[in-house]
């Protein structure tokens, strides 16, 4: 029988720990709260669902940080865990407070979209023209409006032949702006990556072999293309088990949003189901094995937790005794269904 009082006490331990430590990793919370990693992880998921905790987009190692609403500013203590480009974007935004997206270099624009803990995207309509701004996360709306207004009016004054200052763009009076270069720099870098990916995959099929590296000027773009290609190629290699799982889901009117992993005896995907209160996304792990253990459920819940969604485990086999006990305790976060094919 579940001891509700003990569960509430354990959750309060976790909250007290984070109040004292500030943003913390699951392993730190587990140790300080004297709870097993398994239970600490499950309690963190529940507290997140109850909106008593927030989770960072930034990862320290492979884990996010958990913090109490109001501790957002303390996330600055972990900026050293951002990569070089992300730190560059962070420092630029912190110093400028407000930046115009179109004025940034392409690589910085991409990095800005990956530091969601610190960069707040705001669209502003001015003279029937929509502009995307980035606001430093601890700047209040009033200060943002004042700075954005100065930037927009400053750009207007520049049209009259005066000097303008838009944060990182500083143009002198007699300097001629290279419009072609400006347009090129304004192209969304993600569109460039997609085009490069399609080109490389096409060449792979024509030549009959995989070429994951292209000679590009920017090393960061090479890495992104390589990662994307690996995912595309992996998705193209559909297994018999994965095919059967897809057909099973289709028969239950379940939509597959993204296939993450498709191997001989394991299929992982993000799916969407219809509920009485609307559509719900789930992290699905399907396994071709005779017995599903409690550890399988734990791993599924942890992976789903990182993706900020509940987990579903499917298998052709049965679930063991400890797995059933785990489902009794955490059935609101992870479900099990036996595959019938």
Residue 206 has pLDDT above 80, yes or no: no
Whether residues 130 and 206 fall in one domain: no
Output the domain CATH number for residue 250: 3.40.1350.10
Residue 54 has pLDDT above 80, yes or no: yes
Whether residues 230 and 255 fall in one domain: no
Q: What local confidence, expressed as pLDDT, does residue 62 receive?
A: 83
Residue 298 three-state SS: helix
Q: What is the pTM of this model?
A: 0.48
The 10 Å CB-count burial string (b at 16+, else e) for 198-212 is eebbeebeeeeeeee
CB 324 within 8 A of CB 333: no
Q: What local confidence, expressed as pLDDT, does residue 38 receive?
A: 82
Structure tokens of 48? 């997140």
Final residue of a structural domain among 75, 91, 119: 75
Cα dist from 144 to 127, 138, 141, 151, 170, whole Å: 18, 10, 5, 10, 20
Whether residues 253 and 330 fall in one domain: yes
Output the domain CATH number for residue 58: 1.10.10.10
**219/253: higher pLDDT:** 253
Which of 49-53, 159-163, 255-259 bottoms out in mean pLDDT, i.e. has the lowest?
159-163
Q: Report residue 82's pLDDT band, with 50, 70 and 90 as the boundaries.
A: very high
Q: What angle do CA 191, 86, 260 make, to 5 degrees?
A: 55
Whether residues 87 and 69 fall in one domain: no
- In the chain, what percentage of residues exceed pLDDT 90? 43
Provide the domain limits for residue 18: 4-75
Q: Report residue 202's pLDDT band, with 50, 70 and 90 as the boundaries.
A: low
278-325 pLDDT, tens per residue? 888 999 999 999 999 988 888 888 888 888 889 999 999 999 998 888
The total domain count for the chain is: 4
Q: Where are the beta strands (DSSP E) in the chain?
A: 54-60, 63-67, 98-100, 119-126, 129-136, 164-166, 169-171, 255-263, 266-275, 278-287, 291-292, 311-315, 318-319, 334-338
Final residue of a structural domain among 171, 186, 201: 186
CB 147 within 8 A of CB 96: no
Mean per-residue pLDDT for 79-90?
93
Q: What local confidence, expressed as pLDDT, does residue 216 receive?
A: 47
Rounded Cα–Cα distance for residues 106 and 182 (Å): 11
Distance of CA 171 to the CA centre of its chain: 36
CB 270 within 8 A of CB 284: yes
Which of 159-168, 193-202, 256-265 bottoms out in mean pLDDT, i.e. has the lowest?
159-168
Whether residues 136 and 68 fall in one domain: no
CB 235 within 8 A of CB 244: no
Whether residues 321 and 269 fall in one domain: yes
Mean per-residue pLDDT for 211-224?
52
Residues pairing with 310 in the sheet: none
Q: What local confidence, expressed as pLDDT, does residue 36 receive?
A: 86
Residue 256 has pLDDT above 50, yes or no: yes
* Closest CA relative to residue 297, chosen from 331, 257, 339, 273: 331
Supply the angle between the helices 37-49 and 4-21 in degrees, to the nearest 10.
Answer: 80
Output the domain CATH number for residue 93: 1.10.10
Final residue of a structural domain among 26, 60, 75: 75
Give the list of residues 6+ apart from residue 235 with CB closer than 8 angstroms, or none.
Answer: 259, 262
Q: What local confidence, expressed as pLDDT, does residue 68 receive?
A: 96
Whether residues 277 and 308 fall in one domain: yes
Residues pairing with 200 in the sheet: none
Maximal CA-CA distance, the chain: 79
Whether residues 26 and 104 fall in one domain: no
Structure tokens of 234? 């992996």
Mean per-residue pLDDT for 100-116?
91
30-47 pLDDT, tens per residue? 999 888 888 888 899 889
Q: What local confidence, expressed as pLDDT, does residue 315 receive?
A: 95
């Amino acid at each position: 029988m579940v001891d509700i009082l003990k569960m509430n006490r354990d959750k309060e331990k976790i909250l007290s720990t984070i109040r004292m430590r500030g943003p913390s990793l699951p392993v730190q919370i587990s140790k300080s709260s004297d709870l097993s990693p398994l239970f600490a992880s499950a309690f963190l998921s529940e507290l997140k669902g109850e909106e008593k905790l927030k989770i960072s987009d930034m990862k320290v190692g492979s884990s996010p940080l958990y913090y109490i609403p109001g501790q957002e500013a303390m996330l600055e203590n972990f900026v050293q865990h951002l990569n070089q480009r992300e730190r560059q974007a962070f420092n630029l935004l912190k110093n400028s407070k407000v930046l115009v997206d179109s004025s940034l270099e392409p690589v910085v624009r991409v990095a800005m979209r990956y530091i969601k803990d610190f960069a707040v995207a705001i669209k502003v309509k001015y003279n029937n023209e929509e502009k995307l701004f980035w606001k430093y996360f601890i700047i209040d709306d009033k200060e943002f409006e004042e700075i954005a207004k100065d930037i927009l009016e400053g750009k207007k004054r520049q049209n009259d032949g005066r000097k303008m200052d838009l944060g990182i763009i500083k143009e002198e009076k007699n300097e001629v702006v290279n419009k072609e270069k400006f347009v090129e720099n304004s192209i969304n870098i993600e569109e460039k990556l997609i085009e490069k990916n399609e080109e490389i995959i096409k060449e792979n099929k024509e030549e009959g072999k995989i070429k994951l590296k292209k000679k590009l000027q920017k090393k960061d773009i090479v890495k992104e293309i390589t990662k994307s290609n690996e995912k595309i190629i992996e998705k193209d290699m559909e297994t018999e088990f994965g095919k059967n799982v897809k057909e099973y889901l289709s028969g239950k009117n379940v939509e597959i949003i993204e296939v993450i992993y498709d191997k001989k005896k394991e299929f992982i995907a993000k799916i969407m189901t219809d509920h009485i209160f609307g559509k719900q996304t789930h992290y699905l792990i399907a396994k071709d094995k005779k017995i599903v253990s409690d550890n399988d459920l734990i791993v599924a819940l942890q992976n789903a937790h990182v993706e900020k969604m509940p987990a579903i485990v499917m298998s052709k086999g049965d679930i063991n005794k400890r797995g059933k006990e785990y489902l009794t305790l955490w059935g609101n976060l992870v479900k099990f269904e036996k595959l019938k094919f």
